[in-house]
Each structure stands twice: as C-alpha cells, then as structure tokens.
Amino acid sequence: MSRLDTQDVTWLVVGGAPRSGTTALGAALNQSTDVALLHEYSSKVLFDSLNILFSEELRMRTQPDFDRYSHLFPIRDRDEKIIAQAVFRAVFKKDARFIGTKFPGHHAWPQPAYPEWLGFKEIHITRNPFDVVLSMVKKDHSQGVKPADVENALYWWINAWNHTIDRAAADDFLNVFYDSLVVDHAEWHRKITDFLGEIGDFSLGEFRSTSSVVPSIKYGQANMSEYLPLIECVAKQEDWLAGAIAAYQNRQKIGFPLLDGQEIDLRRGSSGWRYIDSGFYSAEDGGAWTCGRQSELLFTLDGEYSGSISLSFDIVWAAEVHERGRDVVISLNSKTVFHSVVSLGSRNGAGTTLSIFVPDFEWKARSTVSLKLQVVEPVNPRREGLGDDNRELGIMIRKISLSKL
C-alpha cells in the first residue's frame, strides 16, 4: 500500500514557473471545500515552525516524570496533525482534506521533511515560454529591459520544465498545460478531479483564452524583438503546444541556450549555473566541484551543425590521493568522448586545460545536448583523513567551451 493510500490529509503544492498561471489555479482550487492553499508560503517554513513546537519534547522525554506531565505540552505523534490542520482551519474557515501552498518555483526552494501522517501531491502548470518570459519581464522590469532579465526569466522557465520531466512518471504529480486549459476547461477539470480523488466543487471558468497574436508581434510591441532568437533556441513560435506535449511524453529535458563562441563559466558570480542539471556543488571563486559519481550539464546550441568539434575543460583542482588523480569519463549525448585519469600533481590549484577532439558530432535546431562527467571514485576528504571537508569530490572546473572545427 502506497503512502497515498494511507493518509487522509495531503499536502498539495501548486507550482510552475513564475507568471504561468499558478495564482489563478490556486484560487480555482481554493473554491473547493476540500482544498486550502496558502499564497506563496514556503512549505519548509511551515514544517520547520512545527518542529520548533516539539523541540522541548525531546528534552522532556529524558525526565523521569515525562508520562505524568506529557498531557501538558505538545507531543509530536499526538498533536502535530491536529495543530497543522488547525492552522488551515483558522486561515480558511474550513476543514480541508488537501492543505498546502500555491508557490511558483516551489521545486527550486529548500524542501521540508514531510511528516509520516501527511500525503503529498503536486500540480505543476506549464505555459509557453514566450508568454512567460514577456510577462515576467514586463512585471519586474517595466523601467527598462536588460539581456540578463530576459535570460533569467527564460532560465526559470527551463528549470521548471525540467522539473516536470523529472517528476512526470510519479503518481503524485500532475502537469497542466496552461495553453490547453484556457481552451478546454472541462477536460482539465476532469483531469484535476481524477488526480485529487473525485474533488469537483471548483471551477476553471476564470481562465480565459489567451491572445492569438503571435510572439513576434507581441515582442515587437514591447520593444523586445531582439530577445526572440534566444527563446527560439528552445521553443518554436508556431504550434508550441503540440511540440511541448510530444516532448513531455518523450521525457525530453531542455538545456539553456549556449550561443556560438560562448563559454560555460562555473565560477561564483558567473552564469554557468544555468547549464547545470545535477551533480555539482555550489560555485566557488575558482570554479565548481563535481558532486559524487556523475555530474550533468544541459545546453541547447543555436542553429544546426554536423562535423568535428573541440571540447575544452579548464580544470583547477583534482581530488588526488597518494598522488593519484581521478578516473574520469566524459560523454556527449551518451557517447563517451574521453576516459582517462585526470591528475594535476603540482599544478593542483593552478589548473590545466583538457582539450577533447570529437570527430563526428551533429545537432539540430532546438535539440538539447547532454554533457556528463562521471568520476569513478570520488574522494571524501574527511573519510580519507585529509581534512574536515565531508563532500564527495572529483574535479573542480572553471570553464567549459565548445568550438566548431
């Protein structure tokens, strides 16, 4: 029996990229007597606050008269569920079976440890990137648009999309396509009702059909036409929804655009984090350490190309033990292009450049490239008695570049 079958109260998250319709969907669901969603309230903040209530319980349990006085202070097993439900009852004036939060970008925030008595479900809403980016920029940067504003807006849309791909197969996850919902309320009402378990007392009538004006005209009216090519690296203006549905069904992630001649700079304060999908520690001044056995970067190259390329890695550190470097495997779209021991020796900290010739490489428009680095045996300095650092380290990378030959 799954957790979903055993809990009578479920934490419900309505998420998605900012400006994707999360507020409207949250408001629609809050019409139900069975749903109570806070407005952009961090899940972790709420459950961390509950944990504070029970911190004294641990101390009191060490006292010999604990059982005698336990009815006079909060006890987690007895009271946590009741207190959590009371918070939502106080705010919403109803006893809801689904409690939670409407929070765009929720997946990218620190996550709590959910109590065992609480189920979990997530509804994610995905809107086309042209409207999302335009809406984000117009809302937050009405006094003047800079390239970084558009790039950040596009990044958060891509980040949200990739989250849907990671979660797509989960029983507790539902992805809603905004561009479909606004024209077919009944179908999405049915899907949401089925997902939540026959909850139907809500309406999606506030969702209105979006403008039929094509993105090129919208961006021209907003004096933002120069930014269209960046978004078109990852999405088609025409019939975006059909392509997105197919990509979702095929579990296709999207990489941030990497324009011709552009480097992926992984140092602190640089923009290389936009390309990291998994497996890197937080950037430092020198670069970013790989985390664990496998690290992956995703990027989308503009245009089309078929031929030879050169991959260049600016490596600053290698986690060496007894003067032995790390066994590293590098693959490009699952094809191994490098396998050797990376050892810097006396150059550790000063760095070196690793150049890899790839004789036969092809990409098509709007196709995502996966760059994976596998460190066969990462080093944990604390475990090896080399210091207090408890991370699983492989190599630290400053920059990565790709060049056509």
Contact assessment for residue 264 and residue 373, using Cβ atoms and an 8 Å cutoff:
no
CATH topology of domain 256-404: Jelly Rolls (2.60.120)
Please, what's the b/e burial string for 280-293 (b: 16 or more CB within 10 A of its CB; e: otherwise)?
beebeebbbbbbbe
Per-residue pLDDT, averaged over 132-152, amounts to 86
Contact assessment for residue 308 and residue 359, using Cβ atoms and an 8 Å cutoff:
yes
Output the CA–CA distances (angstroms, integers) from residue 400 to 1, 3, 146, 316, in the order listed: 47, 43, 25, 12
Per-residue pLDDT, averaged over 282-293, amounts to 97
Q: Do domains 3-249 and 256-404 have the same CATH topology?
A: no
Which residues contact residue 93 at a Cβ distance below 8 angstroms, ignoring those fewer than 6 apart? Answer: none
pLDDT tier for residue 139 given thresholds of 50, 70 and 90 = confident
Q: What is the pLDDT of residue 114?
A: 96
What angle in degrees, to the nearest 10, is found between the helix axes of 147-167 and 129-140? 130
Output the pTM of the full model.
Answer: 0.92
pLDDT tier for residue 141 given thresholds of 50, 70 and 90 = low
Per-residue pLDDT, averaged over 270-293, amounts to 97
- Written as six digits, the tokens of 175 are 């992805």
Q: What is the DSSP letter of 252?
A: -
Q: What is the pLDDT of residue 3?
A: 40
pLDDT in tens, 169-192: 999 999 999 999 999 999 999 999
- Written as six digits, the tokens of 4 are 């979903």
Q: Is the dihedral of CA 265, 271, 275, 281 positive or negative?
A: positive
The three state secondary structure string of 182-248 is CCCHHHHHHHHHHHHCCCCCCCCCCCCCCCCCCHHHHHHHCCCHHHHHHHHCCCCCCCHHHHHHHHH
Per-residue pLDDT, averaged over 37-60, amounts to 95
Domain ranges of the chain: 3-249, 256-404
pLDDT tier for residue 338 given thresholds of 50, 70 and 90 = very high
In a 3-state reduction of DSSP, which class is residue 62?
coil
pLDDT tier for residue 260 given thresholds of 50, 70 and 90 = confident
Report which of 246, 234, 245, 362 is spatially closest to residue 298, judged by C-alpha positions: 234
Q: Is the dihedral of CA 248, 249, 252, 253 positive or negative?
A: positive
Q: What is the pLDDT of residue 142?
A: 64
pLDDT tier for residue 296 given thresholds of 50, 70 and 90 = very high
- CA trace torsion 134, 139, 144, 150 (10° rounding): -40
- Written as six digits, the tokens of 391 are 């991370």
Beta bridge partners of 220: none
* Tokens 């961006």, located at residue: 219
Q: Answer yes or no: is pLDDT of 5 > 50.
A: no
CATH topology of domain 3-249: Rossmann fold (3.40.50)
Q: Answer yes or no: is pLDDT of 403 > 90.
A: yes
Contact assessment for residue 288 and residue 281, using Cβ atoms and an 8 Å cutoff:
yes
Q: What is the pLDDT of residue 59?
A: 93
C-alpha R_g of the chain:
25
| Count of C-beta atoms within a 10 Å radius of residue 391 | 16
Q: Answer yes or no: is pLDDT of 210 > 80.
A: no
DSSP secondary structure string, 37-97? EEES--HHHHHHHHHHHTHHHHHHTTSTTHHHHGGGS--HHHHHHHHHHHHHHHHHSS--S
* Tokens 């005698």, located at residue: 68
